[in-house]
Amino acid sequence: MIYDIRQTTTYHYASSVAYARHVLRLTPIDRLGQRVHAAALDIEPAPIERREGHDFFGNRMTWIELDQPHDTLSVRVAARVAIKRDVAPEATPPWEVIREAAFASTDLSPNSPAHYLFPSRQVSLDPEIRAYAADSFSAGRPVLDAAVDLMRRIKADFVYEIGATTASTTPPMSFALRRGVCQDFAHIMISGMRGLGLPAAYVSGYLRTAQSAGEEQLEGAGAMHAWVLVGCGEDVGWRGLDPTNGIFAGDDHVVLAIGRDYADVAPIDGVIFASGGQRLEVSVSVTPAE
Amino acid sequence: MAGQRERASEQGGIEPLLSGYRPPPGTFDEMVDREGRVRAHWQPLLAMLARLGPNELSRRFAAADRHLRDSGVFYRVYEDASGAERPWPLSHMPLLIDGAEWQALKAGLVQRAELLEAVLADAYGPANLVREGRLPAVVIAGNPEFLRPLVGVAPAGGAHLRFYAVDVGRSPGGHWWVLGDRTQAPSGAGYALENRLALSRVMPEVYRGLKVERLAPFFQAFQAELSALNRQDDSRVCVLTPGPMNETYFEHAYLARYLGFLLVEGEDLTVREDGVFIRTVSGLKRAEVLVRRLDADFADPLELNARSRLGVPGLVQAVRDGTVVIANALGSGVAEARALLSFLPALAPTVLRSDLTLPNVATWWLGQTRARDEIIDRLDEMVIASAFLGELPGHGERREVLGAMLEPEERTRILEQIAHRGIDFVAKEAVTLSTTPVWHNGRLEPRPFTLRLFLARTSDGWRVMPGGFVRVADDIDARAVSLQRGGSTGDAWVLSDKPVAETTLLPAPDRISITRGTGPLPSRAAANLFWVARYVERAEATLRLVRALVSRVSDSDEATTRVVVQICSLLRAWDAVPNDLPHVRPVLVASATLQGSDLEGALPYLVGAAQSAASVIRDRFSPDAWRALTDLFELINAPIDHPPTESMIFERTNGALRIIASFSGLAQENMSQLAGWRFLELGRRIERAIATCRFVREFAFAKLDGALDVLLELADSQITYRLRYVMVPAAAPVIDLVVLDPNNPRSLAYQLSRIEAHLAALPQRSGDGRLSPPEQIATALAAQIRTANATALDKPAFLALEEALMKLADLIASTYFTTHERAEVRWEALG
């Protein structure tokens, strides 16, 4: 499947911003099952300095510096991405084997499970979430099988509700509320798996937008989406599970960035010198190319 | 024979000191051996102390405490919600280390520094140690201090570690063990300097007589090394501090002063395309070397912790570009992990091609199945701690637990935690620390201690500070020693068998100004100096009003009563007293001004604001000036008896005015007259000029008997007036003296001429040779007053002057200070 992705992000500032620095993680890259045919990032006003590069996890980063007073900052993404993933359930080792292998890893590269085992900025480890997750991980169960079960339980037990949480809600908070959005469900699933000593990563990206009234719209389409990568050992590698929709991340999912949690992949980070507030406007569309 | 007799008599002399000194059985004591005999290297010290006698000793130790208190040495206690500073707890007995033993210790420390540097370079570089299976990936990747944006970045200057500290303790067998490594931003060296200064001052003959190795050469070498890393002549080495709320801020300010470096906060720095710059009153100045006392994760909100308000946006980028040397490099905190202790002994032969001569406390990382199974059987002999740093996961604020002391329930829980995530834990052998004497209730008593030792990288390799920072437990049985949880600190004296070079510890005051020269003044520091002075001056004007008020309340004639009402109205207009307070009780108005803590014009607020502005630029005040501000704060906040009497208020007001006079005098006499002093002066002069205009408006035109007396009193000009005019005050001569006379240091004319001179001496921002906007106003005002006639100035003229002065203050702020606030950009749009 080939998609055209359009995203416009605009910050409106209450007072003029004299100086700003930002990092942007808004450009998709080639990954397993994903090829980027074209991608462009258009920034308004034009930065005095702009650099392109990659972060530790391999995500594309753009650094910008703005030194002219401005009231709005607008970032437009245009990309064409081809997706082809096999998402059938498959045989994986028992989860205890995955855990011991991760503990003993001799790999420090971004792909190593070692990076995705620990609490991170936005994912704390919580005994209650661990206990919830543990119900899916019975002794000797294959890791992917157990993770899919956990994903489905989260889909069944939690209410999708925009506005119930914010970008800084912690996993224990949304877990107690039993509601949230994609970020919360991904964080909860990650927290539960890491609590058991299993590697789990956070993915930010896009979902295909429904093309007609009759087509079922997935939760999280029309905005940026988030899901989970589960480490299934060296032979199988990582598999994407979307707890918001209770499905494998397949041909409807376009990967933008991968990290330990939301903080690693925030689409825009920055520091501005200004005295007022800010308002954010985002529009996203992901449509199959003709 | 003679020698023997002498030793015998010395031994006899020290006996009273030793009576009752009983180290606990099974421990090593630094001073006495197992049989209770004084070790050879302690004998000269004890003999000297015995000669001084217990009374003299107590007197001297008290003098040392006083010195520390007067220097403002403190330690901020985190657990105290008010952020209170607590007095520095000095243990007065130095720990003595024999010269030969020191040589061995030193070699072990240098070896360890080299090993940790290699581990860091590998972790942020090729990761060979991980790939070869010598170090589990998890031990690096699980560390919160492993900063991924720094992976693949070789630090400018070629080293991750430049200042390194090691905590050591001595085992019952008498061997030194490493208890932990400090590689992030080690604290304690500045405190060690202060302790040394305090002890050597009160026991100069003892200090000289013992041939104690001096600390100064170590710091000079460190300073020289960092200064040499500057590639451009105008660059300044900066000490980057998180600010005055940090527990060791005193030390940051102290070391910056001592080393002649510039103390900066993140806000003072900005990253531009070609490097890091300091925002100063003369524009942007390059910074190429930072001594980092800010935890690395907070150092850059763009690429590290986005929540940080303390860092410098873009600093990681500057590091990647190689334009800034940071000591220690961002990410070097990885080497502090406790889990590393279990791998270092095995890494040493591979990395250094030799074994570690200084062992660390036996440690097992519980992420390995074999270690885990073994430890679970021996839990009672072990201390369980976090594998990295900080608290034990899931055990509140506890840093470690002793296996033998665990309640059954806790034991089950920790075993379950270890079974799930052994990677989070280490087990360490429980160590019994050696004891060293402390002076307690007039005699010596043994106490367990740990010793922090410091190393600095120089062009000739690692250099070890010959001395250390000793932390002594309060309790004889304490196994863990922490300053945050009580205990005291002490100095370590390394004894030399050769004569030691007499290097002065502190540079002479004139040397500081030479190294500083006209060094850059950060805009933030300038703003704070300006505001300290304005608040202190405002406090002074308010105190003078209070004094004028209480000295008149006992007169009940009608004219005086009207003058009193006039003063009360002004205090109300200044927001020093609540609006609803009746005039009829001037004493109440006066005491409300002195004590109404929530009003912005009352003294507690003014003095608090002055002190808090001063606290963020503490390195710029002499200890005496800082002391004066603290005294003022304490005096103003001390409770007054109820109901307050005139004489109590009078006494308090006079006391406060005396402290302010001494603060102003100290600033005048003890500060180098550079840009910083000028901003302090500008603040004072502008505030005084504004208050003078206001006083003239209120009291020169009131046509009330006694009003002009009040004006003369407020302007502190009664004596001059009486010398000049043998008559009751009249409006024109009073205005001439208080406003126009350029020789009266409290006149408006005098303030304006000082303001003009200070502005002219400040760095020019435009560079086109024209007067700056503040100068334009100041010059016009000064000219107006120079040419004015006392009879021609009316009330509206003074209001106009007052408004022009306020505009001048705003212009100084917008020209020289940073006015924008910093905010993070947030994202709130997820599906």
* B665 plus B805 within the same structural domain: no
Helix axes B795-816, B523-550, angle to 10 degrees: 150
pLDDT at B557 over 80: no
Q: Give the residue from chain A lying closest to B127, CA to CA.
A: A108
Q: Is B242 helix (H, G, I), strand (E, B) or coil?
A: coil
Residue B239 inside a domain? The answer is yes
Task: Give me the DSSP letters along B298-337.
Answer: GS-TTTS-TT-SSS-TTHHHHHHHT--EEESPTTGGGGG-
pLDDT of residue B302: 93
- A271 with B824: Cβ contact below 8 A: yes
pLDDT at B507 over 50: no
* B321 plus B444 within the same structural domain: yes
A140: left (phi over 0), alpha (psi -120 to 50) or beta: left
Among the ranges given (A107-121, A239-253, B498-512), the one the predictor scored with the smallest mean pLDDT: B498-512
Backbone angles phi, psi at B276, to 5 degrees: -100, 140
The mean pLDDT value for B192-221 works out to: 92
Q: Token digits for B708? A: 């002009």
Among the ranges given (A32-46, B273-287, B795-809), the one the predictor scored with the smallest mean pLDDT: B273-287
Residue appearing with tokens 């990761």: B127
Counting other chains too, the contacts that B731-737 makes at CB distance below 8 Å and 24 or more residues apart are: B731/B700, B731/B701, B732/B790, B732/B791, B733/B790, B734/B700, B734/B708, B735/B696, B735/B700, B735/B790, B735/B793, B736/B790, B737/B712
* B401 plus B474 within the same structural domain: no
Q: Token digits for A73? A: 């900052």
Domain A2-84+266-288 matches domain A95-265 at the CATH topology level: no
The answer to whether B368 and B376 have CB atoms below 8 angstroms apart is no
pLDDT at B333 over 60: yes
- Taking one residue from A and the other from B, the number of pairs with CB-CB distance under 8 angstroms is 158
CB contacts of A167 in chain B (<8 Å) are 826-828, 830
pLDDT at B85 over 70: no
Picking from A65, A100, A162, the nearest residue to B369 by CB comes out as: A100
The mean pLDDT value for B202-218 works out to: 92
Confidence of residue B698 (pLDDT cuts 50, 70, 90): very high
The mean pLDDT value for B224-237 works out to: 86
CB contacts of B822 in chain A (<8 Å) are 271-273
pLDDT in tens, B390-438: 888 777 777 888 888 888 998 999 998 998 899 999 999 988 899 999 9
Confidence of residue B828 (pLDDT cuts 50, 70, 90): low
pLDDT of residue A142: 97
pLDDT of residue B518: 47
- Strand partners of residue B383: B402, B428
The CATH code of the domain that includes B416 is 3.30.1490
Total number of domains in chain B: 4
Arithmetic mean of pLDDT over chain B: 87
Cis geometry, peptide bond prior to residue A45 (ω within 30 degrees of 0): yes
Residue B824 inside a domain? The answer is no
Confidence of residue A273 (pLDDT cuts 50, 70, 90): confident
The answer to whether B485 and B196 have CB atoms below 8 angstroms apart is no
pLDDT of residue B82: 46
Confidence of residue B765 (pLDDT cuts 50, 70, 90): low
Residue B35 inside a domain? The answer is no
CB contacts of B132 in chain A (<8 Å) are 106
Give the pTM. Answer: 0.87
Helices (runs of H) and strands (runs of E) counted in chain A: 7, 15
Q: In CATH, which of 3.40.50.720, 2.60.40.2250, 1.10.630.10, 3.40.50.920 is domain A2-84+266-288?
A: 2.60.40.2250
The mean pLDDT value for B365-383 works out to: 90
pLDDT in tens, B110-166: 999 999 999 999 999 999 999 999 999 999 999 999 999 999 999 999 999 999 999
Residue B446 inside a domain? The answer is yes
The mean pLDDT value for A155-180 works out to: 93
pLDDT in tens, B301-325: 999 998 888 899 999 999 999 999 9
* B424 plus B438 within the same structural domain: no
- Strand partners of residue A23: A63, A269
Q: Token digits for B412? A: 């089950």
Confidence of residue B831 (pLDDT cuts 50, 70, 90): low
The C-alpha atoms of residue B431 and residue B27 are separated, in whole angstroms, by: 10
- A196 with B305: Cβ contact below 8 A: no
Confidence of residue A156 (pLDDT cuts 50, 70, 90): very high
The mean pLDDT value for B536-550 works out to: 95
Picking from A221, A223, A272, the nearest residue to B823 by CB comes out as: A272
* B701 plus B771 within the same structural domain: yes
Picking from A55, A220, A273, the nearest residue to B831 by CB comes out as: A220
Counting other chains too, the contacts that B117-123 makes at CB distance below 8 Å and 24 or more residues apart are: B117/B159, B117/B160, B117/B161, B118/B351, B118/B352, B119/B335, B119/B340, B119/B344, B119/B347, B119/B351, B120/B160, B120/B161, B120/B183, B120/B329, B120/B331, B120/B332, B120/B334, B120/B335, B121/B160, B123/A108, B123/B334
CB contacts of B824 in chain A (<8 Å) are 269-272
The mean pLDDT value for A21-27 works out to: 95
Confidence of residue B446 (pLDDT cuts 50, 70, 90): very high
- The residue among B429, B456, B487 that closes a domain is B429
- Strand partners of residue B237: B289
pLDDT in tens, A199-223: 999 999 999 876 666 667 677 677 8
Nearest to B436 by CA among B90, B51, B17, B91: B91
Q: Give the residue from chain A lying closest to B393, CA to CA.
A: A125
- A107 with B151: Cβ contact below 8 A: no
- A269 with B149: Cβ contact below 8 A: no
CB contacts of A271 in chain B (<8 Å) are 301-302, 313, 822-825
- A273 with B820: Cβ contact below 8 A: yes
Burial call A41-71: b when 16+ CB within 10 Å, e when fewer = bebeeebeeeeeeebbbebbbbbbbbeeebe
- B829 with A222: Cβ contact below 8 A: no
pLDDT of residue B483: 42
Burial class of B489 by CB neighbour count within 10 A (0 to 12, 13 to 18, 19+): buried
Say how many C-beta atoms besides its own lie within 10 A of residue B722's C-beta.
Answer: 12
pLDDT at B514 over 50: no
Q: In CATH, which of 3.40.50.2000, 3.10.620.30, 3.40.640.10, 1.10.1060.10 is domain A95-265?
A: 3.10.620.30
Residue B123 inside a domain? The answer is yes
CB contacts of A125 in chain B (<8 Å) are 393, 421
* B122 plus B227 within the same structural domain: yes
- A226 with B303: Cβ contact below 8 A: no
The mean pLDDT value for B53-77 works out to: 80
pLDDT of residue B587: 85
Residue B210 inside a domain? The answer is yes
pLDDT of residue B402: 87
**Percentage of residues in chain A having pLDDT higher than 90:** 80
How far does A162 lie from chain B, in Å, by closest CA? 8
A29 lies within 8 A of chain B by CB: no
pLDDT in tens, B25-60: 889 999 999 999 999 999 999 999 999 998 999 999
Could you tell me the residue range of the domain that residue B665 belongs to? 521-671
- B137 with A112: Cβ contact below 8 A: yes
pLDDT of residue B274: 87
Among A88-102, B62-76, B508-522, which range has the highest average pLDDT?
A88-102
CB contacts of A24 in chain B (<8 Å) are none
Confidence of residue B345 (pLDDT cuts 50, 70, 90): very high
Domain regions of chain A by residue span: 2-84+266-288, 95-265
- The residue among B379, B411, B429 that closes a domain is B429
pLDDT in tens, B675-693: 888 999 999 999 999 999 9
Nearest to B539 by CA among B621, B620, B615, B632: B632
- B141 with A114: Cβ contact below 8 A: yes
* B424 plus B451 within the same structural domain: no
pLDDT of residue B688: 97
Picking from A23, A105, A219, the nearest residue to B136 by CB comes out as: A105
The C-alpha atoms of residue B148 and residue B544 are separated, in whole angstroms, by: 59
* B722 plus B795 within the same structural domain: yes
The mean pLDDT value for B781-807 works out to: 93
Confidence of residue B83 (pLDDT cuts 50, 70, 90): very low
Decide the pairing of beta strands B262-264 and B237-240. parallel
The mean pLDDT value for B799-812 works out to: 94
The mean pLDDT value for A28-52 works out to: 95
* B209 plus B224 within the same structural domain: yes
Interface of A with B in 177-196 (CB under 8 A): 181-183, 195-196
- Strand partners of residue B284: B279
* B725 plus B814 within the same structural domain: yes
Picking from B137, B823, B831, the nearest residue to A106 by CB comes out as: B137
**Percentage of residues in chain A having pLDDT higher than 70:** 96
